[in-house]
């Protein structure tokens, strides 16, 4: 591979002009000699595209006529990046700010081991505490950072997901049946089973994590629950599916369950009182029963790709 592998940043946007105003300048301050930004716009009507085109001509803009969701929109960007011979692809939310050294250090971590398929960052999520809206803590962490630390992990959030391009060639793109939530979980699960590793580096990254999920908690809880169940059915053993479903029923439906409300996943599973939550879970289960044949087909296709990739690792002796 080249001394400076080609990195394409796929920046997904839907009516996020206010986020692009700080995100794009931050991304363009990246200290790495071989990267480009693909702004994939999901049918915005707030002037996002016009703003980006006028102020950042170096950014490649791909316009979708409608909102294809997180998976669908990112898949458009991934295909474009693969056509441009990307070595690495970053799936990046528009409500983020980055340390200028982020790409160089992620490449360094990935190049150290051909099995590293994903690299995540030290994520500061402003909404958790609500005490750092200007990113002062983030700025302090950037000043303090002085050496790379690489830590194995089992999950990396889709807000900033640095991926070896070969992963998509081996295990496939994001599952577009999951319009919102769980898409990166499914991709990472398939890649782990195929033999890829996930690591996190200590370079800081700031994530606002606002958006429509706060404004429409019931809708997005329904999406999160149904796609959590789909991911179980698509990726887990029968025993594990049963275990996770039992946990979900207990957590969602029982009254007076104690949980850490700072964790978005838990908030999505319990957006309201236990009666409303139970109705949402019933909908999620019914949806999965209805679409079980397509989920089973996706499971078989994923299994085929996983076995094929495992055999390739064995042949390469890596």
Is 315 a domain residue? no
| Residue 299 lies inside a defined structural domain of this protein | no
In a domain, 145, yes or no: yes
What is the mean pLDDT of the segment spanning 84-104? 97
Residues 47 and 190 in one domain: yes
My answer on whether 206 and 235 are in the same domain is: no
1 within domain boundaries: no
Q: Do 118 and 13 reside in the same domain of the chain?
A: yes
Q: Give the pLDDT confidence of 170-202 residue by residue, as tens digits.
A: 999 999 986 667 899 999 999 999 999 999 999
Residues forming a β-bridge with 88: 7, 164
Q: What is the pLDDT of residue 107?
A: 98
Q: What is the pLDDT of residue 129?
A: 46
The alpha carbons of the chain give a radius of gyration, in whole angstroms, of: 20
Element (H, E) at 203: strand 197-207
Q: Quickly tell me which residue has 């080249």 as its tokens.
A: 2
User: Does residue 69 carry a pLDDT above 50?
Assistant: yes
In this structure, the answer to whether residues 189 and 270 fall within a common structural domain is no
pLDDT value of residue 258: 87
Asked if pLDDT for residue 293 goes beyond 60, the answer is: yes
User: pLDDT tens, 268-290?
Assistant: 889 989 899 999 999 999 999 99
Q: Are residues 190 and 42 in the same domain?
A: yes
Q: Please tell me whether residues 49 and 141 are part of one structural domain.
A: yes
Asked if residue 277 and residue 173 are part of one domain, the reply reads: no
DSSP state letters, 77-109: HHHHHHHTT-SEEEEEESSEEE-TTHHHHHHHH
Whole-number pLDDT of residue 179 = 61
Across 152-158, average pLDDT: 94
Q: What angle do CA 236, 240, 242 make, to 5 degrees?
A: 115
Same domain, 77 and 186: yes
Which pLDDT belongs to residue 27? Answer: 98
Q: Do 146 and 269 belong to one domain?
A: no
Residue 68 lies in a domain: yes
> Has residue 300 been placed in a domain?
no
The model's confidence at residue 127, banded by pLDDT at 50, 70 and 90, is: very low
Domain stop point among 185, 210, 235: 210
Q: Checking phi first, is residue 172 left (phi over 0); if not, alpha (psi -120 to 50) or beta?
A: left
Average pLDDT value for the chain: 92
Alpha-carbon gap, residue 85 to 87, rounded angstroms = 6
Domain-embedded: residue 40:
yes
**Confidence bin at 32 (pLDDT 50/70/90):** very high
State which residues form the domain around 248: 214-293
pLDDT at 93 over 70: yes
Query: Taking Cα atoms as reference points, which of 290, 150, 154 lies closest to residue 233?
Result: 290
Are 228 and 248 in contact, with CB atoms under 8 Å apart?
yes
Indicate if 244 and 204 belong to the same structural domain: no
CATH code of the domain in which 167 resides: 3.90.550.10
pLDDT at 246 over 80: yes
Same domain for 202 and 238, yes or no, is no
Number of domains within the chain: 2
- For the cut 70, the answer to whether the pLDDT of residue 260 exceeds it is yes
Nearest CA-CA partner of 294 in 245, 230, 239: 230
Direct distance between the N- and C-terminal alpha carbons of the chain, in angstroms, rounded to an integer = 16
In a domain, 174, yes or no: yes
Q: Are residues 18 and 98 in the same domain?
A: yes
User: Phi and psi of 183, rounded to 5°?
Assistant: -65, -45
């Amino acid at each position: 591979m080249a001394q400076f592998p080609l990195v394409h940043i796929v920046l997904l946007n839907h009516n996020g002009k206010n986020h692009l105003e700080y995100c794009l300048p931050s991304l363009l301050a990246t200290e790495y000699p071989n990267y480009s930004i693909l702004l994939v716009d999901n049918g915005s009507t707030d002037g996002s595209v016009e703003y980006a085109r006028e102020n950042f001509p170096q950014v490649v803009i791909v316009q979708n006529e409608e909102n294809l969701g997180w998976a669908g929109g990112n898949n458009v960007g991934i295909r474009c990046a693969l056509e441009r011979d990307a070595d690495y692809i970053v799936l990046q939310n528009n409500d983020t700010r980055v340390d200028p050294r982020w790409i160089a250090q992620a490449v360094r971590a990935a190049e150290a081991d051909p099995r590293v398929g994903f690299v995540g960052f030290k994520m500061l999520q402003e909404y958790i505490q609500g005490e750092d809206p200007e990113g002062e803590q983030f700025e302090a962490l950037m000043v303090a950072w002085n050496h790379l630390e690489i830590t194995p992990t089992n999950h990396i959030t889709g807000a900033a997901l640095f991926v070896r391009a070969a992963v998509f060639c081996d295990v496939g793109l994001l599952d577009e049946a999951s319009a919102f939530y769980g898409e990166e979980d499914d991709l990472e699960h398939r890649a782990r089973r195929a033999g890829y590793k996930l690591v996190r580096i200590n370079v800081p990254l700031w994530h606002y994590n606002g958006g429509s999920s706060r404004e429409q908690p019931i809708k997005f809880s329904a999406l999160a629950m149904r796609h959590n169940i789909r991911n179980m059915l698509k990726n887990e053993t029968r025993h594990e599916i049963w275990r996770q479903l039992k946990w979900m029923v207990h957590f969602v439906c029982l009254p007076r369950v104690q949980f850490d409300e700072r964790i978005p996943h838990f908030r999505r599973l319990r957006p309201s009182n236990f009666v409303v939550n139970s109705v949402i879970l019933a909908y999620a289960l019914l949806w999965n029963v209805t679409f079980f044949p397509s989920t089973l087909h996706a499971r078989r296709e994923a299994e085929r790709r996983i076995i094929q990739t495992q055999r390739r690792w064995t042949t390469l002796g890596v």
